[in-house]
Structure formats: C-alpha cells, structure tokens
Amino acid sequence: MFKHLLVPLDGSRLAETALPAAFFLARKLGAGVTLLHIVERRAPEEIHGERHLTAPEEARGYLKGAGGGGCPESLRVDIQVETEGASGVASSIVDFATAAKSDLIVMCTHGRSGLRHLLLGSNAQQIIALGRIPVLQVRPGKRSAPGFSCRSVLVPLDSQAEHEAGLEAAKEIARACGSAIHLLVVVQTLRSLRGERAAAARLSPGATAAVLDMSMRGAEEYLGRLLTALKSSGHSATGEIQRGDPAKAIGKTADRREADLIVVSTHRKTGTDAFWSGSVAPQVSNRSQVPVLLIPLGRE
C-alpha cells in the first residue's frame, strides 16, 4: 500500500519534524522517499521565524542537506523542487503527488487556530480534501521527535464497515513495524452529537436515544468480530468501547495507552463543511499530540 512517501518541506526546522517518521516508516515498509519544496509565488521573507527559500537552486541545496539528516544509508531519497501553481501550495503538492504516484504524504502540522483555520483548514486537511492520498500529520513535541517509533497503533472506528479503510492501513503498518493494534469504538450520546446529527436529535430526542442504545449493543458484536479476525491473522490486538464525544475519547485513549500513531478514516471534508457535518477526523488531527494518519474514503 505504501511504497512511495512524499515529504513537503518549506525550509523550516518545524517542517523537518516530519522527517524521522517518514524515514522510519520508509525503512520498515521498504518504500522510497521524495522530499519536495514548493517555491511560492509572492513568498514572505520568513516562514516560522526563519528565512524563506525563494530560489530553486537554494531549495535544492536545502533538500539535499535535509535528506542526509538522520536518513538510513540504505534508504532511497529523491529531491524535487516545483513552483507554486495558480491554485496554491496545497494544490501544488497534490498535483505533484498524483503525478509521482506517491501513496503517502508525510508532513508537519503546527496546529493553527482561529477563523482562518476554520475556513481554510490545515494544509494537511486541504490536501486530503483535494486529493485521494493518505496524509500522515506529525506535530512538533516530545511525542513525535526526535526518534519516531511505532509500537502501538490506535484505530478509532464507528461500527460502519465503510469506515474501515483506516484499519486496513493500520494492519499494513503494524505488520511491517511489529506494532500492537488497539481498536476504539465510540458510541455517541445525545449530549455529544454535533452538526447535522445534533439538529436531528433535538427534533426527536427519545427516538435518537433509543437508536444510540441499539448502536451500543451492535458495537459489542462488531468489535468482537474485528478482534477475532485480527488475532487470527497474527496481529496483536485489543479493543474497547466508549460512549461520549469521539474526538475527546480518541485523544484520552491515545494518551492513556501511549499510542505512537492514530489511524483514522476521513470523508475528505475541510473547513466549515467538516464543522457542520461534525466530522471527527479534523478534530482529532487538530488536537492530537500523537501523529495522525488520515485515510481518505473513496480513494479508488
């Protein structure tokens, strides 16, 4: 599944936080790595407090240096410099990744907040919305740097088979890295519903509560079936069911179990679309200090 990893770098030390995870996974998965810099039109003089790279030759020199830092000698690392297209940096990254047949984009996210972030989303979420390529977000901090490891993978699920794309990706990574998989099924309550579902629940709270109780019983059977399948295929797997707000439950579980990676499926919504639909993936990726692998649904 993951044979060509793309790492967009803007020239800052912050962006380089993604490199340990990319190099680790590439080595374990037997994948190649391409480091990409997009030369921005009307680029600012500084990026994250550092001088911005504005010339292609300067960018190539930077990428060569970045590729040597902490990279195993056996790993194949290519570099590429492109110019920003008319639709922006995120679109340029997606265009390059699609043309290069990259199957995983690894990038740093710095957790911006506020109205602009709500409307535009992070670069990772914009890339997910624009393309069909999974994105691994790595946030700077003690949980992600300097040495990335992958001993424990958390996979949040909601009992819907169509959302199991994240589990398939987690199985491949776990098999390559020798990771344990922990499944978390979250069944919401009336108070935790968001967006369109919350609006519908206000019209018929009794019926909605009954449906959620039925979902809890179905979740137990669903989780048991998945755990049996995982163990029969040789995976080390555990699981649990919680009730409440999914994003909060995922974050707390990741901390409690000291997860190294969260793998979650997403409907490729960003900004206000994700806000009004109550999409969980953007909330998890914005809050989590643990690296989050976003798997877009409907990738085929």
pLDDT in tens, 145-166: 457 889 999 999 987 777 788 9
Q: Are 245 and 192 in contact (CB under 8 A)?
A: yes
Q: What is the pLDDT of residue 50?
A: 67
Rounded mean pLDDT, 93-116? 79
Q: What is the pLDDT of residues 266-296, one digit of tens each?
A: 876 655 454 334 477 777 877 788 999 999 8
Angle at 132 between CA 121 and CA 2, to 5 degrees: 115
Q: What is the pLDDT of residue 103?
A: 94
Q: What is the pLDDT of residue 53?
A: 81
Query: Domain ranges in the chain?
Result: 4-108, 152-296
Question: Which pair of tokens denotes residue 207?
Answer: 């019926």
Q: Which fold has domain 152-296?
A: Rossmann fold (3.40.50)
The reply to whether 152-296 shares the fold of 4-108 is yes
- DSSP-derived 3-state class of residue 191: coil
Rounded mean pLDDT, 76-94? 89
**How many whole angstroms separate alpha carbon 6 and alpha carbon 139?**
17
Homologous superfamily of 4-108: HUPs (3.40.50.620)
Q: What is the pLDDT of residue 120?
A: 40
Q: Kindly give the residue spans of alpha helices, DSSP state H, lying in 157-204.
A: 165-177, 195-203
